[in-house]
Amino acid sequence: MSIGFLRQALKALQQQSRGRTSHRVNQWFKWLSPGLAIKRWLLISLGGVLLAILGLAISVRLTPIFWAMELVRGFLGVIAGILPHYISGPLVLLGGILLLLWGQTRTVGSITQVLRPGGDEDLIDVLMAHRRLYRGPKIVVIGGGTGLSTLLRGLKTYSANITAIVTVADDGGSSGRLRQEFGVLPPGDIRNCVAALADEEKLLTELFQYRFKAGDGLTGHSFGNLFLTAMTDITGDLEQAVAASSKVLAVRGQVLPATLSDVRLWAELEDGRRIEGESSIPKAGGKIVKIGCIPASPPALPAAIKAIKEADYIIVGPGSLYTSLIPNLLVPEIADAIAQSTAPRIYICNIMTQPGETQGYTVADHIKAIDAACGDRQLFDAVLVHKKSPSEQSLMRYAQQNSHPVFLDREDVTLLGRRIVLANVLYEDETGCVRHNPQKLARVLLRWYSGNHHGGKKNIPS
């Protein structure tokens, strides 16, 4: 009984040891992976060691080197006398390689403890992930609201070269109060995007979304909005505030306001009413026939235009059509830059209609509204539409709010010159709330990009 137990224990220890050994060997060989720029520096270091030895030998006229070589030759002669050369040679070679690997492993381990104390990942895995992400395509995402931050959570696993261009037309809630009291641009949508792109996303999102429940003047404000407002006051404008915050928070990519102008939205309704203010438009309860902003043609942020011109891929949406997406396109330079781009461009249509904005809208109606807002121009090549209907629970919940799934009118979309990308990208929480799934959405978008990018794939991480 005890002998059998000992055998099982020994077998388990052997398997565990083999597993650890194979893992270490795999980690060693990862350092020789292409693209890490490690092998070239190892060879240069080896060349430097050889040159240093040669220089030392020349400077001392070879005398110490001669005696050292004689000593080594004598030692090797003794070994060769005991063991045949075909055994002693490989053994010495293996010993040298093992010493080299042991020394390099301990060196890397010491560096890892300093750079990543308590980190679960090996340094080589971190380096490979970093290199892969920063070789990803340059992606520009345009929008606002929770839809944009949801998309960014998925995209950041494929590329670190992401630019989110965000609307600054928000005038409700905490952002609206800060806008009135401090004269700053509304930080709400930017706050969500910064949190979504941060490495420590979960903790940072909880911190940035935290709302004060007490305190004179603090009640209702989110910590993230106050943080960005303070940074704006320190740095001088919102662009510099977001850039500084991104460095502090280890943000993967960049978040840019569409404009630094104090933009205020207005909408004309079918019944003739004119509604001003982003937060007031959905509450008016009418059909929107025209939308604009004050000032009429706000100047774009130069960094946003530069990002669009250099983009490999441009994504519009998802988000509220009239209060999150179109406000960015009301900045003429942004619409012009997108229209002139030769990069693949796609629009992500919302899954559900939005009361007060897109009630009764089809996919084609969403596209027509975007085209009309920027001078009847075709700003994107394809539209991504969710394939399956939400669950009965979700449909009943949304029907109570007079919201329904956006109907795909294929013929009308085709007549508008857009390709249709159908995919299952839906996420439903336990309450029946419908959102885009960040990972599924990003996977579909990158797959479409790789198939439509001119010249084939461009650094699409697997």
Give the separation between CA 88 and CA 125, rounded to whole angstroms. 36
pLDDT confidence of residue 9: 54
Give Cα separations from 181 to 174, 175, 266, 442 (angstroms): 11, 10, 21, 38
Give the separation between CA 200 and CA 285, rounded to whole angstroms. 40
Most confident region among 35-39, 107-111, 231-235 by mean pLDDT: 231-235
Find the mean pLDDT for residues 89-93.
77
Q: What percent of the chain has pLDDT above 70?
A: 80
Find the mean pLDDT for residues 156-183.
84
Higher confidence at residue 44 or residue 318? Answer: 318
C-alpha torsion angle, residues 328, 334, 337, 339 (rounded to 10):
40
279: which 2 tokens? 């937060």
User: CB neighbours of 4 closer than 8 A, spacing ≥ 6?
Assistant: none
| Residue 232 zone, left/alpha/beta (φ > 0; ψ -120 to 50; rest) | alpha
pLDDT exceeds 70 at position 458? no
Find the mean pLDDT for residues 122-138.
72
DSSP 174-203: HHHHHHHHH-PPP-HHHHHHHHHHBTTHHH
Higher confidence at residue 353 or residue 123? Answer: 353
pLDDT confidence of residue 1: 44
Per residue in 334-365, pLDDT (tens digit) is: 999 999 999 999 999 999 999 989 999 999 99
DSSP secondary structure code for residue 156 in this structure: T
pLDDT exceeds 80 at position 410? yes
Length of the chain: 462
Structure confidence at residue 2 as a pLDDT band (50, 70, 90)? very low
pLDDT confidence of residue 185: 82
pLDDT confidence of residue 325: 95
- Distance, first Cα to last Cα, the chain: 50
Structure confidence at residue 123 as a pLDDT band (50, 70, 90)? low
Find out whether 177 and 163 touch, Cβ atoms under 8 Å: no
User: CB neighbours of 301 closer than 8 A, spacing ≥ 6?
Assistant: 239, 256, 257, 258, 259, 260
For the beta carbon of residue 299, count every other beta carbon within 10 angstroms. 13
Q: 1-5, 156-160, 274-278 — which is least confidently predicted?
A: 1-5
CA angle 92, 96, 102 (to 5 degrees): 140
Q: Is 268 helix (H, G, I), strand (E, B) or coil?
A: strand
30-55: b (≥16 Cβ within 10 Å) or e: ebeeeebeeeeeeeeeeeeeeeeeee
Beta strands in 161-312 (DSSP E): 162-166, 254-257, 264-269, 274-276, 288-294
Find out whether 292 and 375 touch, Cβ atoms under 8 Å: no
Per residue in 176-211, pLDDT (tens digit) is: 778 777 778 888 888 889 888 887 767 777 888 888
Give the separation between CA 35 and CA 161, rounded to whole angstroms. 17
pLDDT confidence of residue 315: 97
pLDDT confidence of residue 181: 75
DSSP lists the bridge partners of residue 198 as 251
Find out whether 148 and 191 touch, Cβ atoms under 8 Å: no
Structure confidence at residue 366 as a pLDDT band (50, 70, 90)? very high
pLDDT exceeds 70 at position 122? no
pLDDT exceeds 90 at position 454? no
Q: What percent of the chain has pLDDT above 90?
A: 43
Give the separation between CA 105 and CA 275, rounded to whole angstroms. 66
Higher confidence at residue 191 or residue 448? Answer: 448
pLDDT confidence of residue 224: 83
Higher confidence at residue 183 or residue 393? Answer: 393
Supply φ then ψ for residue 360, to 5 degrees.
Answer: 80, 5
Query: Among 365, 330, 367, which Cα is nearest to 345's?
Result: 367
Q: 16-30, 96-110, 356-370 — which is least confidently predicted?
A: 16-30
Most confident region among 6-10, 63-67, 312-316 by mean pLDDT: 312-316
Per residue in 220-244, pLDDT (tens digit) is: 788 888 888 888 888 888 888 888 8
pLDDT confidence of residue 23: 56
Give the separation between CA 346 and CA 325, rounded to whole angstroms. 13
pLDDT confidence of residue 174: 76
The helix or strand, by DSSP H or E, that contains position 399, with its residue range, turns out to be helix 392-399
* Single pTM value for the model: 0.75
Q: At what angle do helices 223-235 and 173-182 cross, to 10 degrees?
A: 30
Q: 15-19, 262-266, 324-328, 374-378 — which is least confidently predicted?
A: 15-19
Structure confidence at residue 462 as a pLDDT band (50, 70, 90)? very low
Structure confidence at residue 127 as a pLDDT band (50, 70, 90)? low
| Residue 17 zone, left/alpha/beta (φ > 0; ψ -120 to 50; rest) | alpha
pLDDT exceeds 80 at position 8? no
Give the separation between CA 418 and CA 347, rounded to whole angstroms. 10
Most confident region among 49-53, 120-124, 134-138, 318-322 by mean pLDDT: 318-322
Structure confidence at residue 396 as a pLDDT band (50, 70, 90)? very high
pLDDT exceeds 60 at position 18? no
pLDDT confidence of residue 457: 45
Give the separation between CA 390 and CA 405, rounded to whole angstroms. 8
pLDDT confidence of residue 31: 58
Q: 129-138, 184-193, 382-391, 407-416 — which is least confidently predicted?
A: 129-138
pLDDT exceeds 90 at position 61? no
Tell me the average pLDDT of the chain.
82
Query: Among 75, 54, 49, 76, which Cα is nearest to 65's?
Result: 54
Give the separation between CA 50 and CA 46, rounded to whole angstroms. 6
